[in-house]
């Protein structure tokens, strides 16, 4: 069973799944709302943000097509963050209690869910490691190698503004731009407007 392949799900769960279409900037749920569902992004991109007591907004995850969000809803009464569509998006909505019951009754589905969570933990681990690389150009190169598509000759396609990518890896947009210029000058990357081709990407 696979949460991303709806036809493979138990009929009683599949019948309760719904969809929600979001316009750019539309809120899927607010921080503190009652946690009533788990979601998978079918198309588009959804940003998870937290708001501090002084109103500061902190982005801590970008969820893309085929990825899940709000797993914590299954084990919490409230969402600890807000979810906002960055672009026009469509999400699959899995109601909380029916999904919990299906995970309890179908080991294959529970295993798929655990594998998905492990993947997210690995992603978080990599991002934390990036924060400890002090040299900006080395941090950027490690990030590019991590997100590159190996099936496309180590190509990275930027689908978000550079300022957002910079924030993801703890740099200012200006520092990111300088780091990319240095990597290009050193022959480690080639750039076009929206894509980067890694050179010798298998190197450590």
17-38 residue pLDDT tens: 999 999 999 999 999 999 999 9
**Look-up of token digits 């991002």:** 127
CA pair distance 105, 22, nearest whole angstrom: 32
66 touches 119 (CB < 8 A): no
Host H or E run for residue 167? helix 162-168
For the whole model, what pTM was predicted? 0.80
CA pair distance 72, 99, nearest whole angstrom: 13
Encoding tokens for residue 161? 């503004």
CA pair distance 128, 171, nearest whole angstrom: 13
**Look-up of token digits 């300088």:** 178
Question: What is residue 24's predicted lDDT score, i.e. its pLDDT?
Answer: 96
List, in sequence order, every beta strand (DSSP E) within 45-134: 45-51, 57-64, 68-69, 82-85, 89-95
91 touches 20 (CB < 8 A): yes
Question: What is residue 163's predicted lDDT score, i.e. its pLDDT?
Answer: 87
Q: Side-chain half-sphere of 21: how many Cα atoms within 13 Å? A: 1
Residue 200, pLDDT > 80, answer no
Residue 67, pLDDT > 50, answer yes
Backbone angles phi, psi at 121, to 5 degrees: -65, -40
How high is the mean pLDDT of the chain?
Answer: 90
CA pair distance 33, 27, nearest whole angstrom: 11
**Look-up of token digits 């209690």:** 97
Residue 150, pLDDT > 80, answer no
Other CB atoms within 10 A of residue 57 CB: 11
For the segment 58-76, the average pLDDT, to the nearest whole number, is: 90
């Amino acid at each position: 069973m696979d949460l991303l392949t709806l036809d493979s799900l138990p009929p009683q769960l599949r019948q309760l799944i719904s969809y929600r279409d979001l316009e750019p900037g539309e809120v899927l749920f607010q921080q503190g709302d009652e946690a009533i569902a788990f979601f998978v992004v079918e198309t588009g991109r959804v940003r998870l943000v937290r708001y501090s007591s002084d109103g500061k907004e902190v982005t801590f995850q970008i969820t893309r097509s085929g990825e899940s969000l709000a797993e914590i809803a299954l084990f919490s009464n409230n969402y600890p963050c807000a979810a906002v569509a960055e672009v026009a998006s469509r999400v699959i909505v899995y109601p909380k209690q029916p999904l919990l019951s299906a995970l309890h009754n179908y080991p294959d589905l529970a295993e798929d869910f655990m594998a998905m969570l492990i993947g997210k933990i690995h992603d978080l681990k990599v991002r934390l490691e990036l924060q400890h690389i002090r040299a900006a150009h080395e941090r950027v190169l490690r990030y590019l190698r991590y997100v590159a598509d190996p099936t496309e000759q180590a190509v990275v396609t930027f689908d978000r503004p550079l300022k957002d990518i910079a924030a993801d890896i703890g740099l200012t947009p200006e520092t990111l731009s300088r780091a990319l210029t240095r990597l290009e000058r050193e022959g480690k990357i080639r750039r076009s407007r929206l894509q980067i081709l890694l050179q010798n990407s298998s190197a450590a």
